[in-house]
Structure formats: C-alpha cells, structure tokens
Amino acid sequence: MDHKHVGSLHAADEKMAIENARDVYTRRMEGVSIWVVESRHIHASNPEDSGAFFDPAEDKVYRHPTFYDVPPEIKNM
C-alpha cells in the first residue's frame, strides 16, 4: 500500500501519534492506513542536489520494456 506524507504533529508516543493523525489528517476519508515516524528518523535527499542525484536515470531508456522491439507473432512477452 502506498503511503504519502501528509503532515506532522506532536505526541507523547506512537500510539497517541496515530490517534492524533487519524483525528487531524483523515477527517475527509483521505486515507485508510496511517504510518507515523519520529521526524528525527527521517532522512531526506537534498533538493539542491537533485540534478546530480537523479539525472543519470533520465537517459537510460533501455531500462524500459518499451525500448525493445519484439515481433508481433511472439506471444506472452
């Protein structure tokens, strides 16, 4: 199941954090599963470095299945 970051809150422990997250962030059925993690345990890539970090993947088209021509008579591939 995909989990998306929706926000932060303060809580004494993880149980309170999940309950508070439910009370604040799922009021309009925005989600049916909650993960909470202490912010000190989150490590993020640096947006300033995104170029150097992610560009190399941009031109490696051969990693995609659509790059390859398989004759139409071939089934199941």
Binding residues for another protein, per CB under 8 A?
7-10, 12-13, 16, 23-24, 27-28, 46-48
How far apart (Å, rounded) are the C-alpha atoms in residues 53 and 60?
Answer: 14
Question: Closest separation between CB of residue 58 and another protein, Å?
Answer: 20
The 8-class DSSP code of residue 12 comes to S
In the bound state with another protein, the residue whose beta carbon lies nearer, of 23 and 53, is: 23
Question: Closest separation between CB of residue 34 and another protein, Å?
Answer: 15
* Alpha-carbon 75 to chain mean position: 34
In the bound state with another protein, the residue whose beta carbon lies nearer, of 46 and 76, is: 46
Please give the angle made by the CA atoms of 45, 25 and 20, to the nearest 5 degrees: 100
Task: Identify whether the C-beta of residue 25 lies closer than 8 Å to the C-beta of residue 6.
Answer: yes
In the bound state with another protein, the residue whose beta carbon lies nearer, of 13 and 73, is: 13
Question: Closest separation between CB of residue 17 and another protein, Å?
Answer: 11
